[in-house]
């Protein structure tokens, strides 16, 4: 075995024989790897996590995307008639295929279909947006020439529906805790409602 050369605080440890020291380092490394594998997979009594029960990965953010036949036609409708903020287009080969809009800072998208399955969803979707003043928002939509449905009162919300150029239903709604049985926008109320139906 080679002699260990003394070293100070800044001087690296060396062995007198290069080959002997290299073999020892490799042997020690193999032992560490084997020990790590044993600890990770073969510890008696170790509980394995069921991936179906893992929670806590959601951030609370959501980005809905609606399929539309012509994003350049739909984007101005959502901006001007429905009142959303327009953030921009995404292009493919110089042609817009996606538009990003905002509702009070929450992003959502309009996307032209790229497959038969997506094409089948055009005009078949519904999104809900909460507004502060339902009557004022409906008046805005009418003033821009659209033909929204009448305001309906339900147990959960007051709302009206307007169809986009493809037929997707865009719902604008308000919820009043004094008049509605639950608030569909809040987590605790949604959990309570879900518990009643199970």
Tokens 């991936």: give the residue: 51
Mean per-residue pLDDT of the chain: 81
Q: What is the pLDDT of residue 185?
A: 72
Confidence of residue 180 (pLDDT cuts 50, 70, 90): confident
Q: What is the pLDDT of residue 12?
A: 43
Contacts of 66 (CB under 8 A, 6+ apart): 108, 109, 110, 111, 125, 127, 164, 168
Spatial contact of 107 and 100, defined as CB atoms under 8 Å apart:
yes
User: Residue 165's closest CA among 64, 63, 62, 80?
Assistant: 80
User: Residue 147's closest CA among 160, 134, 156?
Assistant: 160
Q: What is the pLDDT of residue 34?
A: 61
Residue ranges of the domains in the chain? 65-192
Spatial contact of 151 and 141, defined as CB atoms under 8 Å apart:
no
d(CA 68, CA 107) in angstroms, rounded, equals 16
28-34 contacts: CB < 8 A, separation 24 or more?
none
Q: What is the pLDDT of residue 51?
A: 74
Residue 31's region, left for phi above 0, alpha for psi from -120 to 50, else beta, is: alpha
Spatial contact of 87 and 55, defined as CB atoms under 8 Å apart:
no
Q: What is the pLDDT of residues 95-150, one digit of tens each?
A: 999 999 999 989 999 999 999 999 999 999 999 999 999 999 999 999 999 999 99
What number of other Cβ atoms are within 10 A of residue 52's Cβ? 5
Q: Where are the alpha helices (DSSP H) in 17-176?
A: 18-41, 71-76, 116-119, 134-143
Tokens of 84: 């959303």
The CATH fold of domain 65-192: 2,3-Dihydroxybiphenyl 1,2-Dioxygenase; domain 1 (3.10.180)
């Amino acid at each position: 075995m080679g002699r260990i050369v003394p070293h100070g605080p800044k001087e690296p440890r060396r062995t007198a024989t290069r080959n002997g020291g290299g073999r020892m380092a490799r042997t020690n490394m193999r032992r560490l790897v084997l020990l790590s594998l044993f600890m990770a997979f073969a510890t008696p009594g170790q509980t394995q996590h069921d991936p179906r029960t893992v929670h806590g990965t959601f951030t609370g953010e959501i980005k809905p995307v609606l399929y539309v036949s012509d994003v350049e036609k739909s984007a101005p409708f959502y901006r001007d008639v429905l009142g959303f903020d327009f953030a921009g287009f995404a292009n493919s080969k110089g042609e817009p295929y996606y538009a990003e809009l905002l509702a009070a800072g929450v992003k959502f998208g309009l996307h032209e279909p790229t497959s038969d399955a997506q094409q089948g969803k055009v005009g078949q979707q519904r999104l809900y947006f909460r507004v502060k003043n339902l009557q004022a928002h409906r008046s805005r939509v009418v003033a821009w020439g659209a033909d929204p449905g009448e305001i309906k009162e339900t147990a959960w919300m007051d709302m009206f529906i307007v169809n986009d150029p493809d037929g997707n239903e865009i719902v604008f709604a308000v919820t009043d805790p004094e008049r509605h049985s639950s608030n569909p926008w809040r987590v605790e109320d949604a959990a309570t409602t879900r518990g009643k139906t199970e």
